[in-house]
Each structure stands twice: as C-alpha cells, then as structure tokens.
Chain A
Amino acid sequence: MNITVLYGTETGNAEMLAEDVAAHLEGAHEVACTNLSDFAPADFDPGQFYLVICSTYGDGELPASAKPFAEAMEAEMPDLAGVHFAIFGLGDTEYEDTHNFGSRIIAEMLQARGASQIGERVLHDASGGDMADDLAMDWADSVVELAAQQMKEDA
C-alpha cells in the first residue's frame, strides 16, 4: 500500500512518533513521512492512505506545524472524496477540558471535506502509563489492515 504519515507537532513528540510509525511500516509498504507544515490540501491523493499523527497545544489548539495546513484547508475547501485517513492524537489529561482537541480538529476538518476516516481516533495521554509508541504501532497495523479492505471495496 502507498502510505503517507502526516504529523502536526509543537514540541517534536508527534514528529518522533510519526517517524517511528513510518519506520515500522516501511518494510511492507511504500511509506513517506511529512510534516503538515510542508503539505498542501491539493497534495491529497486517493491512491494514498494517510496516517495522521497530531498533538494538541495551548488551549486545545492545533500544534504550530498543523496551523498553516488548517488555514489552507479553510481557504481552499478541497474535495477529499475518495481520500482515506486514520488519525492518532497526542495529548495530556493534565489539561482535561481540552484533551486531544488537536487531533479532533484535524479529523473533523478532513471529514467535512468528504474524506473517510478509517477506525477510531486513538488518543495517547502523556500523563498516563502507556508509551505512545506501543499504542501507535498497534493502531497503525490495525488501520492499515482496515484500509486495505476498505480501499479494495471502494475501488
């Protein structure tokens, strides 16, 4: 499968995780790993499966590297019908009221333009006991499998 791992990061944790996920998938798939700050809405391609990894910063806002992408989405209103994505959020329940809003904003933004979300949005809690890597590898394996079925049915 052709996979693009997209990440939105502020402190670099989401970037590190995205690189780990890309490395994990690389043997079996064609994988690219791209910062959302370097990705334009027009770059979406229905032939790719998008794994989005996004943190939350400040008062439940998108992390710095996802902000230009969100602005471009709003300005360009692209049609993302036929695009499949899955999303993994990084957050911290110390900030309970806004926990993992960043990944939610991205998911809603993509769905609003017609993209199909594969699987549940999985949330990591930096204040919890799980390592983000442990959660994310299982998540990546399962959504890649789901996407393979879904994209075959759609085709």
Chain B
Amino acid sequence: MPASVAIVGTGPSGCYLAQALLKARPDLRVDLIDRLPVPYGLVRYGVAADHQGTKAVTRQFERLFERQGARFIGNLDIGADVTLDDLRGCYDAVVLAAGLSVDRCLQIPGEDLAGVATAGEVIRALNEHPDSKALPPLGRRVVVMGNGNVAIDLVRLLAKSGEELAGTDLGEGPSAWLQSAGVEAIDIIGRSPAAQAKFDPVMVKELHRLAHVRIAVEGAGSTEDAEAQKRLDALAAIDGTTHGDRQLTFRFGLTPLAIEGQDGRVTAARFRDASGVEVTIPCDTVLTAIGFQSCTNLSRDDLLVDALDLDAGVLAAGLYATGWFRRGPRGTIPDNRTDAQVLAARILNDLGETGGKPGLPATEGLVDHAGWKRIDAAELAGARPGRCRRKIADRQTMLEIAQDR
C-alpha cells in the first residue's frame, strides 16, 4: 500500500502541497481535510469578492480531486472532532496548512466600542464565511488602521459603487451593507512610514480606477531603497485622484493611542505622530487590519516551539507545517506555492518507500468532493443578475446540499 498523507487545511498552501506531492508521486494517498464543508480556505473566504481573477487558482485545485486522485474530507475539525495524535496514527505524514485566521488586536483603550471591528471579521462576513459575525454598523466616516493588502482590499470595497461590484460573488446582505452606508470618508492609517508599508504597489495603484473617489496621500516621505520606492511611486500615482466625492486619505507614521467614544459608540481615533504630537481623527467606524494569528483547535504555538526544523517545515517525525501556519502571516499565494514545492520534496524524501497507514476511516457527517461539487453547483445556479455565484453562508444548509444524493 502506498504511503498516506493528510493535509489539514485546503487553502492555497494545502492545495499547492497536494499538487506537488501528487505530481511527483501519483500513487500516494493524499487527503485534504477542512473544518468547513467546503474547500479552498483563503481563496474562497479571504480574497476579495471583486478579485475573481485571483480566485481562478481554484481551477487548478479542482484537478487535485478530479484528475490527481486527492480526496476531500470536509466538515472535520482536527483538534476538536479528531485529535492530532489520532490523525497521525492514521497517516504516514500529516501536514498542518491551516493558515492563520484570527485578527490581531491593537490592545489600546476603546477597542470594545460599538463601531470598532477587525478587518478579518469584516472580510469574512463580506465573503459569507459560515462562522462570521454579523457585519458591524457602518458609518459615514471610517478609519482603517493598517496598510497591508487586507486593509487595501477593504478600502477598495468600501469605496466602490454598486455597478463597480458587478461580476463579483458578493452576496445580497454584504452588497446592501456596502451600498446603504453612504461612506463619505476613509482614512487609511499606517503606524510605519509609507516606505515600510505592507501593501503591494499594484494593490494601491488599482485604487486609481475607482469611479467615485478623491485620494490624498499625506506625509509619504522619501526613501533610498529601490523596493520601498515602488510603494512611494504607487502612492504618488494615486495622490490627487479626483473621480468623485468619497474622500480617501492615506496617513503614515501614526501610532494608535486610543479609540474614543460617547454612549458606547466610537467618535474618534487618537494617534501620536513621529514628532510626538497627538492627532485626533473624528470617525464613526474603526476597522483594524493589523495582521492575523492562529485560530484553529491546533496548538500552533506549542507545536512551533518544539519543532525539529521549523525552517524546513518539520515539526516532528511525520508531522509538518506549511504556509502561514509555519511562517506567520506574511507572503502571497504564489509564495505559498514555492513553500509547498520545497516541503513536498522533503516529505517525499522522508517517506522514502515506506508507508502503508490506511488514512482516516469513513465517518458519518463528512463532506467528500462530490458533496462539495453539489454545493458548488447550487451556488453557481443560484447566482443573481450581476453576480457570478451566490454563496451558501449557512453550514447546516451546506451539509444538507452536500449529502443530498
């Protein structure tokens, strides 16, 4: 019997790893396990609804199941439904590719005020993740803290008009939320100087195409570094855009001090600038986009501390980690492809010719690839005019469709 590999997490990191393993060793048993009834993790729930082109990688990942013989095991939460030790008992190798999905907090006063939310919560809710919270009340004056790609995604979506969302898979509720708020101003605040901002230049340049915005960039400064200069060039390219009334203002070098409120609701965000002067920005909504941490039922911190060779992705004999779960919340989808290819070579080397563990036994309540395809078909068939898909946001409904033979 050929060796068996379980990959926990079916986002890009997990799928790219399965792809690399099966390309080299088509005879392997590779099971891709997700705690949700649907696959693809970040591509489905993290990539913004108006970047459908980026989601095209799922066409590659579908082939894992359709042609390369990988199995999908959905609706199975490793660490809760099955322990990691039990899983390791069933497979010759287990790889944790579960990503990082809990938002980091600022840890400043006022984070519990109404009108304050994390970008991850909002992006998940906009993408209709079954475990997402309700979308927070959205005011007219929004402060976005953070200037990575997640922050830029959020700013772009908040600044788009209804017609600019055509062709997306944005649902009815999220569409209404974005359109009914009447956002007038968005301040995008970076703690670091612009040269050290986390966004990709192409993400910022894209904002120039928004139909209804005015864009100002304050205090971007200068740099000697060629890579950093690309970020400053991107900001310079959008500075002064006058396509409409929604005001976007980029500000840099502001350290958050507190979020202020009245009657339990946010009224302003307070910062300190590089020269020590306090800056107060009145607002009714604060969205924080300052990075992610682990959220699964897997004790990532303990696993990483005890890792045999974390750089190589080896946590213990027969136990591996890849993607954000290994590296932390840095890097793009293709960065995780590179990671996966390196780790696949290591795993294949470690496996050698050994093997024979049979994988997880069949269990009630799980979703296989055919079940996912039934959910997928229902979502595609349900798309309303102007949308390419109508996501099913409720786990129970997903399971009913998946199991409806």
Contacts and interface: CB of A to CB of B under 8 A. Distances in A.
Nearest to A57: B334
A11 B57 contact: yes
Given A95-B206, A98-B202, A12 B52 contact: no
B133 to A, nearest CB: 28
A64 B334 contact: yes
Contacts of A40: none
B369 interface: no
A127 B337 contact: no
Interface string B158-195: 00000000010000000000000000000000000000
B42 to A, nearest CB: 13
A64 B202 CA distance: 16
Given A59-B230, A94-B206, A96-B209, A12 B53 contact: no
Interface in A90-119: 92-98
Interface residues of B, number: 25
B205 to A, nearest CB: 7
Nearest to B201: A59
A11 B337 contact: yes
A119 B84 CA distance: 55
B243 to A, nearest CB: 14
Contacts, number: 51
A84 to B, nearest CB: 29
Contacts of B397: none
14 contacts: A12-B19, A12-B57, A12-B334, A13-B59, A16-B59, A16-B60, A58-B201, A59-B202, A94-B53, A98-B202, A126-B53, A126-B54, A126-B56, A127-B53
Nearest to A90: B56
Contacts of B52: 126-127
B333 interface: yes
A10 to B, nearest CB: 5
Contacts of B337: 11-12
B23 to A, nearest CB: 10
Contacts of A10: 334
A10 B206 CA distance: 20
A13 B12 CA distance: 13
B320 interface: no
B77 interface: no
A90 to B, nearest CB: 9
A57 B56 CA distance: 14
B91 interface: no
B266 to A, nearest CB: 32
B60 A13 contact: yes
Contacts of B206: 94-95
Contacts of A64: 334, 338
Interface in A53-94: 57-59, 64, 92-94
A8 to B, nearest CB: 12
Nearest to A60: B202
A20 to B, nearest CB: 10
Interface string A20-61: 000000000000000000000000000000000000011100
B72 interface: no
Interface in B55-85: 56-57, 59-60, 63
A64 B332 CA distance: 13
Nearest to B338: A64
A145 B234 CA distance: 43
Contacts of B230: 59
Nearest to B16: A12
A98 B205 CA distance: 11
B200 interface: yes
Contacts of A13: 56-57, 59-60
A12 B60 contact: yes
B330 interface: no
Contacts of B63: 16
Contact of B202 (A16, A58, A93): A58
Contacts of B54: 92, 126
Contacts of A16: 59-60, 63
Contacts of B200: 58
B51 interface: yes
A59 B212 CA distance: 23
A94 B59 CA distance: 19
Contacts of B202: 58-59, 95, 98
A69 to B, nearest CB: 17
Nearest to B57: A11
A11 B54 CA distance: 9
Q: Which 3 A-B pairs have the closest CB atoms?
A: A126-B53, A92-B53, A127-B53
Contacts of B51: 94
Q: Which of B50, B53, B234 has the most CB of A within 10 A?
A: B53
Interface in B192-233: 200-202, 205-206, 209, 230
Given A11-B57, A58-B200, A126-B53, 10 more contacts: A10-B334, A11-B334, A12-B16, A12-B19, A16-B60, A57-B334, A94-B50, A98-B202, A126-B54, A126-B56
A58 B60 CA distance: 20
A137 to B, nearest CB: 15
A58 B230 CA distance: 11
